[in-house]
């Protein structure tokens, strides 16, 4: 079978929301009113840390698809002031969130044990709070949230090949800014900055899903110990180290794009490596000059720059059954699934969605039961399911 990115259609039930006159959809989606609807129509579980488990109404997959969102809509009314990545989250919240992640990933691996039959992924895309609310492609809910998705591989095999030149696909691979011009320094920085014991570097071949040929050209790490390692708090600390390294690289690069030969930022996580590996590297500085000069003469290009760290970070299962961590820049707002070569076209079709709904909800309620049992929250009642 030919390897290549796949394009699938996922039916959904249209959301019965009325957007007030004069508001754009993505403006309304950031409002407290919309988040209240998310809780009452799709909420599964909530806890005192404001972590909300919910069904994805506009889902990627009708096999298994849910999210945990750090629902700060009632405590931080300014959408631009809400946490958009884990490094901005209080330790007690992150601790609970990591335990929720572990239980949900464990459930997916238990229910779908064969890597030939299911593509499993869990991860987050940063919702960068620096873009104007009205910009095309801006994420609809500016709060940190994780995705948990299962795609049956039979459906992916039957799906048509996606356009390999789709910018959403090439953005995260070898055509991205980091990979095209700074590939060596990017990887060197990760190697020198990060002190990892559970995560070990994975080759591109080991990280790649053969069916789709993705991810492409990204730094990746194998989780030694597999699912059991996710029960170790030190794994989650290392998972955060990968993110911190990425943030240092991203912020350091765009600070040089913004201002020629700018000094090292005062609040980087790995100052020694930023100074020695990045700011003294000719490819790094040369690329910043190239982007800076283009920003000066091309208004459209400059407007598309995301000046603050924008990323997608994933845990997924490879073809051999190993768990892999990878991270990518997220410069144009592409979907998290596209990092693994899966393009999802959501289609409004209540009847088609209804055929999948009972089994999907059954799986989500079982996940909720396990989370409640682990004292990670209380159930939420909706028109589709009871509180417990």
Task: Output the domain CATH number for residue 386.
Answer: 3.30.428
Which residues constitute the domain of residue 355? 1-163+335-388
User: Checking DSSP bridges between strand 6-12 and strand 342-348, what pairing results, if any?
Assistant: parallel
Residue 33 confidence (pLDDT): 73
DSSP letter for each residue of 269-320: S-HHHIIIIITT-HHHHHHHHHHHHHHHH-HHHHHH---S--EEEEEEE-TT
Same domain membership, residue 122 and residue 7: yes
Q: Which pTM value belongs to this model?
A: 0.93
Residues 54 and 83 in one domain: yes
The SS3 of residue 68 is strand
User: By C-alpha distance, which of 169, 129, 128, 126 is closest to 147?
Assistant: 126
Clarify whether residues 129 and 227 are in a common domain. no
Do residues 76 and 129 share a domain?
Answer: yes
Number of domains in the chain: 2
Q: Give ∠ CA 116-121-125 in degrees, rounded to 5.
A: 155
Neighbour-count burial of 293, counting CB atoms closer than 10 A to its CB (0-12 exposed, 13-18 middle, 19+ buried): exposed
C-beta of residue 172 within 8 angstroms of C-beta of residue 178: no
pLDDT computed for residue 173 by the predictor? 47
User: In this structure, are 124 and 246 located in the same domain?
Assistant: no
Residues 271 and 388 reside in one and the same domain = no
Do 366 and 265 belong to one domain?
A: no
Q: Looking at 312, 331, 350, which one is the last position of a domain?
A: 331
The answer to whether residues 333 and 167 touch, using CB atoms and an 8 Å cutoff, is no
Given 316, 331, 346, the domain boundary residue is 331
Chain position carrying tokens 């009325």? 18
Domain boundary among 331, 354, 372: 331
Specify the DSSP element, H or E, that contains 199. strand 199-201
Q: Are residues 311 and 244 in the same domain?
A: yes
Listed as ranges, residues in the chain with pLDDT below 50 are 137, 172-174
Q: In what order do the strands lie in the sheet with 342-348?
A: 160-161, 6-12, 342-348
Q: Bridge-partner residues for 9, per DSSP?
A: 345
In tens, the pLDDT along 187-239 reads 999 999 999 999 999 999 999 999 999 998 889 999 999 999 999 999 999 99
What local confidence, expressed as pLDDT, does residue 194 receive? 95
Same domain, 222 and 339: no
Same domain flag for 358 and 223: no
DSSP-derived secondary structure for 95-117: HHHHHHHHHHHHHHHHH---TTT
From the CB of residue 277, how many other CB atoms can be counted at a distance below 10 Å?
Answer: 22
**Are 270 and 343 members of one domain?**
no
Do 187 and 303 share a domain, yes or no? yes
Count of Cβ atoms closer than 10 Å to residue 61 Cβ? 24
- Structural element, H or E, at residue 18: none
The token pair at 359 is 């089994």
């Amino acid at each position: 079978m030919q390897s290549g990115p796949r394009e699938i259609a996922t039916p959904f039930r249209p959301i019965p929301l009325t957007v007030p006159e004069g508001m754009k959809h993505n403006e309304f989606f950031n409002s407290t009113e919309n988040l209240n609807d998310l809780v009452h129509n799709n909420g599964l579980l909530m806890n005192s840390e404001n972590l909300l488990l919910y069904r994805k109404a506009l889902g990627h997959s009708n096999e298994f698809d849910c999210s945990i969102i750090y629902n700060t809509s009632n405590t931080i009314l300014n959408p631009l002031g809400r946490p958009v990545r884990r490094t901005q989250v209080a330790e007690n919240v992150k601790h609970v969130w990591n335990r929720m992640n572990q239980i949900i990933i464990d459930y997916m691996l238990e229910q779908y044990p064969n890597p030939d039959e299911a593509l499993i992924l869990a991860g987050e895309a940063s919702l960068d709070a620096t873009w104007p609310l009205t910009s095309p492609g801006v994420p609809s809910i500016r709060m940190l949230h994780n995705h948990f998705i299962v795609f049956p591989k039979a459906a992916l095999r039957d799906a048509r090949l996606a356009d390999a030149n789709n910018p959403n696909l090439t953005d995260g691979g070898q055509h991205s800014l980091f990979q095209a011009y700074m590939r060596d320094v990017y990887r060197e920085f990760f190697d020198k900055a990060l002190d990892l014991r559970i995560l070990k570097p994975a080759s591109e071949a080991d990280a790649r899903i053969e069916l789709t040929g993705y991810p492409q050209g990204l730094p990746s790490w194998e989780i030694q110990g597999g699912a059991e390692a996710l029960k170790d708090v030190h794994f989650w600390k290392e998972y955060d180290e990968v993110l911190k390294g990425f943030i240092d690289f991203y912020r350091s690069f765009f600070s040089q794009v913004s201002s020629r030969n700018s000094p090292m930022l005062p609040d980087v996580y790995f100052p020694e490596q930023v100074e020695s590996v990045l700011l003294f590297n000719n490819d790094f500085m040369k690329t910043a000059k190239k982007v800076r000069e283009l920003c000066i003469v091309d208004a459209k290009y400059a407007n598309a720059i995301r000046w603050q760290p924008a990323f997608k970070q994933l845990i997924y299962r490879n073809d051999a059954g190993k768990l892999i961590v990878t991270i990518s820049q997220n410069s144009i707002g592409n979907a998290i699934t596209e990092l693994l070569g899966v393009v999802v076209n959501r289609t409004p079709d209540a009847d088609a969605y209804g055929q999948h709904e009972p089994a999907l909800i059954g799986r989500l309620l079982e996940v909720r039961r396990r989370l409640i049992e682990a004292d990670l929250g209380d159930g939420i009642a909706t028109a589709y399911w009871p509180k417990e």
